[in-house]
Amino acid sequence: MVVRVAPELRLLVGRRWRAETVEVGVSGTDTVGHVVESVGVPLTEVGGLRLDGRPVPPPTRASGDVVDVAARGRPQPAPTDPPRFLLDVHLGSLARRLRLLGLDAAWYPDGPDSDDDALVARATDERRVLLTQDRALLRRRALPDGALVRGTGVDDQADDVLDRFAPALAPWTRCVACGGALHPATADDVAAHLEPGTRRTYTDFSACAGCGRVYWRGAHAARLELVVARAREVVERRRRAGVSR
Q: Is 118 in the site for Zn ion (CB under 5 A)?
A: no
Piece in contact with Zn ion (CB under 5 A), picked from 44-52, 97-105, 127-135, 213-221? 213-221
Q: Which one-letter amino acid corresponds to residue 198?
A: T
- When the beta carbons of 31 and 198 are compared against Zn ion, the nearer one is 198
Q: Is residue 104 near Zn ion by the rule CB under 5 A? A: no
Which residue, 34 or 217, has its beta carbon nearer to Zn ion? 217
Point out which residues pair with 127 in neighbouring strands.
none
148 bridge partner residues: 132
Q: How many residues bind Zn ion (CB under 5 A)?
A: 8
**Of 4, 154, 180, 227, which lies in the binding site for Zn ion, with binding defined by CB under 5 A?**
180
Residue 175 or 231 with smaller CB distance to Zn ion: 175
Task: Tell me the C-alpha distance between 168 and 232, whole Å.
Answer: 9
Interface with Zn ion by CB under 5 A: which range of 42-50, 76-84, 95-103, 167-175?
167-175
d(CA 130, CA 124): 9
Smallest separation, CB 95 to Zn ion (Å): 12
- The rounded distance, in Å, linking the Cα atoms of 129 and 184 is 30
- Indicate whether 172 belongs to the interface with Zn ion (CB under 5 A): no
CB 29, CB 63: distance < 8 Å: no
Taking only Cα atoms into account, the Rg of the chain, rounded to an integer number of angstroms, comes to 21
Check binding of 210 to Zn ion (CB under 5 A): yes
Which of the stretches 70-78, 124-132, 211-219, 230-238 binds Zn ion when contact is defined by CB under 5 A?
211-219
Residue selected from 19, 211, 226, 229 as contacting Zn ion according to rule CB under 5 A: 211
Q: What residues contact 148, with CB distance under 8 A and at least 6 apart? A: 12, 42, 44, 45, 132, 133, 135, 138
Kindly tell me which of 82 and 180 has the beta carbon lying closer to Zn ion: 180
193 is an interface residue for Zn ion by CB under 5 A: no
What minimum distance in Å lies between the beta carbon of 107 and Zn ion? Answer: 12
* Interface with Zn ion, residue 208, by CB under 5 A: yes
Residues 86-96 as b/e (b if ≥16 CB within 10 A, e otherwise) read bbbbebeebbb
Give residues with Cβ within 8 angstroms of 151, minimum separation 6: 157, 159, 160
Question: Is 178 or 194 the residue whose CB approaches Zn ion more closely?
Answer: 178
Nearest approach, Cβ of residue 181 and Zn ion (Å): 9
Burial letters for 105-138: b for 16+ Cβ neighbours within 10 Å, e otherwise?
bbbbeeeeebebeebbebbbeeebbbbbbbbebb
Can you give the binding site for Zn ion, defined by CB under 5 A?
A: 175, 177-178, 180, 208, 210-211, 213
